[in-house]
Amino acid sequence: MGLVPADLQGQLGAPFTQDEVDAAVVAVRNAARWHISPETSSVVTLDVECREPVLRLPTKHLVSVTEVRDVDLDEVISADLYRVSLSEGWVRAKYGYWPDGYGRMRVTFVHGYDDVPTDLLPVLAESAQLGRRDQTASAVGAGPYNVAYVVDRAVALANPLSTARVLAWYTVWESGL
């Protein structure tokens, strides 16, 4: 994402080191299952089930589809034969279904945000903070002071302002998960 510690200035837990920011970027990208930022061109080869009219691209911010190719026939599919949903990240066959098979369709597309969305900055800051903490500890005590680390995911997801809820907006859904 190309972030530097100054980008997270003013977020809870700041200041952060560059290593903490880099680790947070990796963690958020892994959780979201795609790179998020910057805008880039990608190529994916997709398995297609029988009678499947939609190719689901691994992105939550599709900018454009450059090419759709049938790998088995080594043939580019005409753009007149499909429609693209930028909001869903889908490529739908206009007539019928895509040819089926493992690794059958290859799609070249542009996706991602030019800049990191501002609502992801608190998520990145929280991830950087979690990287500081000993992940094996569930509670820490010193004299009369005790701190317990308990995160109820159900409560976090119910709160529309929680970082878990924001991250969910940017996470790519994959069937079977």
Q: What is the pTM of this model?
A: 0.77
Residue 153 confidence (pLDDT): 47
pLDDT at 111 exceeding the cut of 70: yes
Between CA 6 and CA 21 the distance in angstroms is 10
How far is the C-alpha of 142 from the C-alpha of 44, rounded, in Å? 52
Beta bridge partners of 148: 139
DSSP-based three-state secondary structure for 64: strand
* Token pair of 55 as six digits: 């190719």
Task: Give 66-84 pLDDT, tens digit per residue.
Answer: 999 999 999 999 999 999 9
**What are the structure tokens assigned to 111, written together?**
């996706």
Residues 143-166 have pLDDT tens digits of: 777 777 655 444 444 444 467 777
Closest listed residue to residue 100, CA positions, set 47, 57, 176, 56 = 47
